[in-house]
Copies of this chain bind each other. A is one copy, B any other.
Amino acid sequence: MPGPKRLQLALFGAGRMGTIHAANIAAHPRAVLAAIVDPNTEGARALAEAFQSRVRSATDVFDDPAVDAIVIASAASTHPELIDQALARGKAVFCEKPLARDLDTVRSLVAAVEAAGTPFLLAFNRRFDPGFASLASRLREGEAGAPELVLLTSRDPGPPPMDYIVASGGILRETTIHDIDMARWLTGEEPESVYAVGAARTDPRIAAAGHVDTVMVTLRMPSGTLVSINNSWRATYGYDQRAEVHGAGGMLQLGNVLSTPVTAWNAGGGSSDKPQPFFLQRYVDAYQRELDYFVNRLEEGGAMSPGAADGLKALEIAQAAEESMRSGLAIRLS
């Protein structure tokens, strides 16, 4: 790919995630926001105006040979069709998770992506966060020795809307899946067993719908490394995203990012500021870095990571965790 040429990226989805990606593409020195595609034309138009792009139809985008890649930030239900189209037209794909809701579709998508050999990034945001990335690389450099205990904490300030919970399949697929990806990435292993317990504590409608909002998941890795994930859809103090890896040579911890480094001291003690309120603020750097990684890899060629297969592995584990929670049994993963 010639140096001066800017990559043409078409964005599907003008919602919350689409807005983030639109801004990052527009600000990238070697990318162009070539199109915004969204059935909600008003939202699409507003975004196009703000970032000096234009609203186009999906057909138009896929037919345009100048479009190098698509960025999928639309509703999850649209992902399989968009991926299929992109593979068919030879366009690289930057895809928000999930690939699809059901495991069969995910499996066939992974097979299709691998068969096509199209550059494909499954955008698990935490892998691109400077903090998680530093944790992972220092772990790989041996700073904590061989990992023995991994603790992953992800808690959201509040639950998603009920219809979203139902559509997404619940907390294990929606939230825990990020921690599962972290567990795989940080340990470099695939779990041999998973055990999950959960409870519905925040909203009676969640229980009524057969869902939970609070979970603990235990993974056992082949090396003997043990992973404990805890999640909640309630956190009065902001968005709680922490990790801890204890190994033979020490411990590495990732703490929360506070909104400001101001602390107040008075009769009640010393009060720090709160963690960032939610993922939009917490992962602002991660979203920029994942887009930058995508652009760099497109230019350089070669495989992208995490790829479609990582989405499949994480979903398989999340599904086993669901089975564990339902049955009360630990589930053996082959």
Residues on A lying within 8 angstroms of B by beta carbon are 27, 29, 50, 130-131, 134-135, 138, 143-144, 146, 148-149, 151, 153, 155, 193, 195, 197-202, 214-216, 218, 220, 224-228, 230, 232, 234-237, 240, 246, 248-274, 328-330, 332
| Copy total for this chain | 4
Instruction: Please give, as numbers and ranges, the residues of chain B lying within 8 Å of A248 by CB-CB distance.
Output: 201-202, 234
Of the residues B50, B252, B263, contact of A262 by C-beta under 8 Å: B252
Measured CA separation A171–B51 after assembly (Å): 42
C-alpha gap A210/B255 in the complex (Å): 36
Contact among B134, B149, B269 with A214 in the assembled complex (CB-CB below 8 Å): B149
Instruction: Report chain B residues within 8 Å CB of A149.
Output: 214, 216, 230, 232
* Contact between B29 and A50, CB atoms less than 8 A apart: yes
Whole-angstrom CA separation of A236 from B226 in the bound complex: 18
Closest B residue to A133 using CB positions: B260
* Pairs of residues from A and B, 8 with the lowest C-beta to C-beta distance, nearest first: A199-B224, A250-B266, A237-B265, A255-B261, A251-B265, A270-B272, A216-B226, A131-B260
Residues of B near A332 (CB, < 8 A) are: 328
Which partner residue on chain B sits nearest A131 by CB separation? B260
Q: Are B269 and A271 in contact, with the CB atoms below 8 A?
A: yes
Using known A-B contacts A148-B214, A271-B269, determine if residue A235 contacts B224 with beta carbons closer than 8 Å: no
Complex CA–CA separation, A228 to B195 (angstroms): 12
With a cutoff of 8 Å between Cβ atoms, the chain B residues found around residue A134 in the complex are: 260, 262, 273
Which residues from chain B contact A195 at a C-beta distance below 8 Å? Answer: 195, 197, 218, 330
Residues A218 and B216 in contact in the complex (CB < 8 Å), given A148-B234, A151-B151, A265-B237: yes
